[in-house]
């Protein structure tokens, strides 16, 4: 290979590509649960999942927690409010802050999807030994620190 010849990129061996494709495949696997039964996009489901775990986050906090872009969060949240699955509350101490919460209907969807999502996750992880599962979580956490320095993407376990 001469100095002027750029290196070839083999996508099948390129980590960012592989992670992206795997992420899409896993999202599609789990997406069947919330898309088909509840007509939710991946973005809408992510907001429901985050708020189901941590109610009262603002759209900015949801954006930071998920690394979704702000316009996507705003559109998805607005559509969930319109569907009656999400509500915007008012922070009485800081009226500029608008916490988001699931409505009873949104909480019901969350409660129905989570057991199925956990079941799908278990099926994925069952191909790994317990030690390999711990290694995978450790590797993902270390990669996250490099990919997004200074941002804690999730809690270590």
**What are the tens digits of pLDDT across the range 58-110?**
999 999 999 999 999 999 999 999 999 999 998 788 778 899 999 999 999 99
Which segment of 7-16, 38-47, 145-154 scores lowest on mean pLDDT? 145-154
Name the pLDDT band for 1 (thresholds 50, 70, 90).
low
Query: Over the chain, what is the mean pLDDT?
Result: 91
DSSP for 11-51 reads: GGG-HHHHHHHHHHHHHHHHHIIIIIHH---HHHHHHHHHH
What's phi and psi for 78, nearest 5 deg?
-60, -40
pLDDT at 157: 47
Q: How large is the average pLDDT for residues 27-51?
A: 92
pTM for this predicted structure: 0.85
Give the integer Cα–Cα distance in Å for 100 and 48.
Answer: 10
Task: Provide the percentage of residues in the chain whose pLDDT is more than 90.
Answer: 73
Structure tokens at 54: 């941590």
């Amino acid at each position: 290979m001469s100095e002027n010849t750029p290196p070839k990129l083999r996508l099948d061996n390129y980590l960012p590509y592989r992670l992206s494709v795997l992420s899409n495949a896993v999202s599609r696997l789990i997406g069947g649960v919330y898309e088909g039964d509840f007509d939710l996009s991946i973005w809408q489901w992510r907001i429901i999942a985050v708020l189901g775990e941590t109610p009262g986050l603002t759209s900015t906090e949801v954006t930071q927690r998920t690394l979704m872009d702000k316009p996507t969060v705003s559109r998805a949240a607005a559509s969930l409010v319109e569907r009656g699955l999400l509500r915007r509350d008012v922070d009485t101490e800081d009226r500029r802050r608008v916490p988001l919460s699931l409505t009873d209907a949104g909480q019901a969807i969350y409660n129905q999807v989570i057991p199925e999502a956990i079941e799908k996750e278990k099926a994925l992880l069952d191909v790994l030994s317990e030690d390999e599962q711990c290694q995978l979580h450790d590797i993902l956490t270390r990669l996250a620190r490099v990919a997004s320095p200074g941002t804690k993407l999730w809690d270590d376990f």
